[in-house]
Homo-oligomer: A and B are copies of this chain.
Amino acid sequence: MNIQPHRNQPMPVPFPPSPGKIQPLTFVLVHGAWADASFWDRVAAELRRMGHAVHSPEYPGHGGDPNTNVTHSMLSRSVADYIVSHGLRDIVLAGHSFGGTIVQKTAELVPDRLKRLVFMNAFVLKDGESASEEFPPQAQSFFEQLRASSSNDTIMLPFPFYRDAFANLASLEQARWMHERIQPEPAKPLYEKLDLKTFYKLTTPKSYLYLTEDNVMPQGQPNYGWHPHMSSRLGLFRLLKSPGDHMTFVYTHPQWIAWRLYEAGRD
């Protein structure tokens, strides 16, 4: 007999008591830095195709907003306002990258509207910390130089850095396409120390989706990195992993990312 399944081959199996049906969810997707709400367009389309309601609110200083003089509380407040004004309840609030910090603060503002928090290669800051402090010293200096060289307190990622660190799995033209669409990131919120005492009292269930080829944060370091360094701050959380770098797979593998977000968000 010679039934060797190929590596990584999917195994189509029935499972008791019945194959899973899709549980319709309400997603609120929060993008990160060097991105705008269109970051989620393809993933949102896939989630809607599955039957979910999906919102990806833009927040100040991003998308069409020319104001770069924003504070972190303006960002989380705007997401919370969106949730309230749209009457959203029982939501899966998911953040990518810097969006994790906005998820943390938004959760403090509208805790009774949350079903679950999902972090996708996203910051989970400790109380009193800023996002910038999660970078190793050399990266911190690099970002500070970029910040200092801007005329409006923003940070723009040079293409060679973006291409190898943020879009390592993209083709050159995919990386260029993505990079051409990003705006300089307002720096202030990245350097704000956040009071997260309330966040760490929330009992909202939490999930962490870890894309394993993301090298924006150092891997395998006790004091740095998405997972397990920051994910472990969540206490009990549901872990999922997937291939993927920091930026590319929402564009190239939206059906896959959508499915993992569903697995992260369902009951």
| A212 neighbours in B (Cβ, 8 Å) | 241
| A227 neighbours in B (Cβ, 8 Å) | 219-220
Which residues in chain A, 157-210, are within 8 Å of chain B measured between CB atoms?
Answer: 160-161, 163-165, 168-169, 171-174, 177, 205, 207
Please state if B220 and A239 are interface contacts (CB–CB under 8 Å): no
Which residues in chain A, 1-51, are within 8 Å of chain B measured between CB atoms?
Answer: 1-13, 15-23, 49-51
| Stoichiometry (number of copies) | 3
User: Contacting chain B: which of A82-90, A122-130, A250-258?
Assistant: A250-258
**A149 proximal to B (CB < 8 A):** no
Known: A3-B49, A6-B10, A16-B251. 9 other contacts (CB 8 A): A4-B19, A7-B243, A7-B253, A11-B253, A163-B238, A164-B237, A168-B240, A169-B240, A213-B240
**A153 proximal to B (CB < 8 A):** no
Closest 8 pairs (CB-CB, A-B): A6-B10, A20-B171, A215-B239, A164-B238, A220-B228, A11-B253, A8-B8, A168-B238
Q: How many residues of A contact B (CB 8 A)?
A: 70
Min CB gap A163→B, angstroms: 8
**A232 proximal to B (CB < 8 A):** yes
Most-contacted residue by chain B among A49, A215, A228, A240 (CB, 10 A): A215
| A64 neighbours in B (Cβ, 8 Å) | none
| A171 neighbours in B (Cβ, 8 Å) | 20, 266
Which residues in chain A, 214-250, are within 8 Å of chain B measured between CB atoms?
Answer: 215, 218-222, 225, 227-229, 232, 236-241, 243, 245
**A267 proximal to B (CB < 8 A):** yes
Alpha-carbon distance A18/B240, docked complex (angstroms): 30
Please state if B232 and A213 are interface contacts (CB–CB under 8 Å): no
Given A1-B51, A220-B227, A239:B213 Cβ within 8 A: yes
Residue of B12, B50, B255 touching A13 (CB-CB under 8 A): B255
